[in-house]
Amino acid sequence: MHRRHLLAPALLAVLAACGGGSSPSGPAVAKGLAYTDPATGAYRLVRNAALSTDTHLVLDLWGPSGATASGVTAAFVQGGAGAVWHNVLTGDAAGTYVANGTAFNLGAGAPILKARLTGTTLMATVAEKGTASPKALDQALLRVALDLVPGVAPGTVATLTPDPARCQILLPDGTLATVAVTASSITVK
């Protein structure tokens, strides 16, 4: 009987050394979203490093130097299963989805700052009240954000496509001009 007591600990030690008794690890889970700013394009979605985290990707819409406007509206289609639209700032009311960039002064009272999410398409508008003081566009015009979907595998598809017919700026003369917005691919890592 004394031998049995010695044999059990020895057997457990061998199993532990060989990996016996350990539970298998589950499938790999993505830890974040990666985005590389587009190298070309007059209007570009650029990663905001100060507001982004591994799982919360904030993108600023930047315009070209030398141009001015009093507002911007843009529509973006999010595709794939790796990311979902989310508020830019954690303190915003649920479903806000857009934040003012640094270009426009929204003034006192109710701001012209609105987003609407329909399915996976986000339509966002930011504008000043009036067109008397147009602003330079070579800065952040508006901000949108995507969050990593919890539990997805690395390599899961996440895309962001600007809708070319619904990306416009409000010109100083009060007319709207369609602009081409460039976005890069999103990597689920």
Torsion angle, CA of 33/36/37/39, rounded to 10 degrees? -160
Helix (H, G, I), strand (E, B) or coil at 7: helix
Write down the pLDDT at residue 50.
98
In a domain, 46, yes or no: yes
Q: Which range (1-10, 41-50, 91-100) has the least confidence?
A: 1-10
Averaged confidence pLDDT in the chain: 90
State mean pLDDT over 135-153: 97
State mean pLDDT over 4-13: 47
Write down the pLDDT at residue 12.
42
* Residue ranges making up the domain that contains 116: 25-188
In a domain, 76, yes or no: yes
In a domain, 8, yes or no: no
Write down the pLDDT at residue 2.
52
Provide the domain count of the chain: 1
The proportion of the chain whose per-residue pLDDT surpasses 70, expressed as a percent, equals 87
In a domain, 10, yes or no: no
Write down the pLDDT at residue 11.
40
Per the structure block, which two tokens stand in for 172? 């100083």
CATH number at residue 43: 2.60.40.680
CA distance 120 to 147: 13
In a domain, 172, yes or no: yes
In a domain, 162, yes or no: yes
Q: How far is CA 150 from CA 17, 31, 33, 36, 48, in A?
A: 34, 9, 11, 22, 22
Direct distance between the N- and C-terminal alpha carbons of the chain, in angstroms, rounded to an integer: 55
Tens digit of each residue's pLDDT (9 = 90 or more) over 10-57 = 444 444 444 444 556 778 999 999 999 999 999 999 999 999 999 999
Nearest to 85 by CA among 169, 158, 173, 139: 158
In a domain, 60, yes or no: yes
In a domain, 17, yes or no: no
One-letter amino acid at 113 equals L
